[in-house]
Each structure stands twice: as structure tokens, then as C-alpha cells.
Amino acid sequence: MTKRDAENATGGSNRNHLKFDKLDLDILEVLLDNARIPFRKLARQVNSDEKTVARRVTRLAERGIVARFTVDIDYSKFGLNTFAYIGTRTTVDPTVREQLFNFFRTQPRILRAEATIGSYEYVFLAIDKDLPSLRENVNTPLEPLTAGLSTSIVSKTIKPLDNKLPLRLIRESTGIGTQKTKRQ
């Protein structure tokens, strides 16, 4: 890979992308496992020095690559065992649409809501203690705001969320931090 190819792959010629290198990707991968890791230990794991790692983490945060440092909570330990993906459509009335958006923003059982292109205009992920509570607190209040709901209850997680996979995709698509074999 030429220097120009590397710059293009890492955003050198595209203002929508930021430059990054193998060390940045290595740091991000470790932070995904433990966002509270001390810089000294992080530096050891990525084969760098503490000062460089501290500067890189700060830069990644300032550039918005690291949006936040967080924890992964097992909500089932609190009795929240029911997850549902719910799809819906709404009317063209902007007042009703704003009421729907407000419900999404204020209902603590709705973890994430997305506008989509496809069978449903909006898809969201909800959590609750059980099906009757989900129906009472999410589905029923949404019915007057939507043109139909389609609820799919999660019965088994086949592949849990793995935020490291996009880093692997970035490594593969840019060639950064991968050992590419040359054709002979």
C-alpha cells in the first residue's frame, strides 16, 4: 500500500473520515473490553508508552471517535428479561409524528429507535420485565400514534452485539494492522 493509498483509506482525501492508524485501532479494541483501563496497562497491551497512549485516547475522544466511555449492564439481573423489536408506521400528520418521537425519547423501556427504509417507517428496541408489562407500557400507548405495530419478542440471542467487529472491518478495508500477503 502506498502512502497515498493509506491516506485515502484513512480519510486523507475525504473530509468525512478522520485519519487513524494501527495504534488507534489497537487502543480502541482494548477500550471496548475495558473503558476504565489505566493508561499504563493500556500502553503495555498495545506495545506503546503511557504518554503516547494518553495523547491518543484524548485525541480519539476530541475527534468524536470515542463518543463515551461506558459499561455493559446485564439488565436481567434486575428482572428485565423481555426484549422486543417493534416496527411501526405513522400518519403524515406532523403533530402525531412528533408525539410518537416524544414517546420514543421519554419512554425508559425504549432503548433505541430508528427511522428506516423498508417495511416499517420506524423500528425500535424495547425492554421490560415481561410481556404483559411491555404490552401495557409500550404497545398500548403507541397504538393511537401509529398505523399498526409489529412486535417480535427476542426468544434467544444467536449473536450478541460485538463492537469489535467494525474495527476488524476497518482493518480489512484499509489494510491497517493486517498482514497482507503479496501475490507471487
Parts of the chain belonging to CATH 3.30.70.920: 75-153
Question: Sorting pLDDT into bands at 50, 70 and 90, what band is 16?
Answer: low
pLDDT at 181: 33
Length of the chain measured in residues = 184
Enumerate residues 6+ apart whose C-beta is below 8 A from 75.
127
Angle between helices 50-62 and 22-33 (to 10 degrees): 80
Q: Which among 167, 165, 160 has a CA at the least distance from the CA of 65?
A: 167
Residue labelled with grid coordinates 467487529: 165
Mean pLDDT of the chain: 88
Enumerate residues 6+ apart whose C-beta is below 8 A from 116.
87, 122, 123
Mean pLDDT, residues 37-44: 97
What's domain 3-70's architecture? Orthogonal Bundle (1.10)
Residue 8 grid coordinates: 485515502
pLDDT at 2: 43
- What is d(CA 83, CA 48) in angstroms, rounded to the nearest whole number? 41
Higher per-residue pLDDT: 127 or 4: 127
- What is d(CA 112, CA 108) in angstroms, rounded to the nearest whole number? 10
DSSP state for residue 121 in the 8-state scheme: S
pLDDT at 184: 29
Parts of the chain belonging to CATH 1.10.10.10: 3-70
Per residue in 143-159, pLDDT (tens digit) is 999 988 999 999 999 99
Mean pLDDT, residues 52-58: 97
Indicate the Cα dihedral angle 25, 66, 122, 157, nearest 10°.
60
On the question of pLDDT at 135 being above 90, the answer is: yes
Per residue in 77-92, pLDDT (tens digit) is 999 999 999 999 987 7
pLDDT at 177: 80
Per residue in 69-122, pLDDT (tens digit) is 988 899 999 999 999 999 999 877 899 999 999 999 999 999 999 999 999 999
HSE-CB at 16 with a 13 A cutoff on CA atoms is 0
Residues above pLDDT 70, as percent of the chain = 88
From the candidate CATH numbers 3.30.420.130, 3.40.50.300, 3.40.50.2000, 3.30.70.920, the one assigned to the domain spanning 75-153: 3.30.70.920
pTM of structure = 0.76
Enumerate residues 6+ apart whose C-beta is below 8 A from 37.
30, 31, 45
Residue 173, H or E segment: helix 165-174
On the question of pLDDT at 13 being above 80, the answer is: no
Residue labelled with grid coordinates 393511537: 144
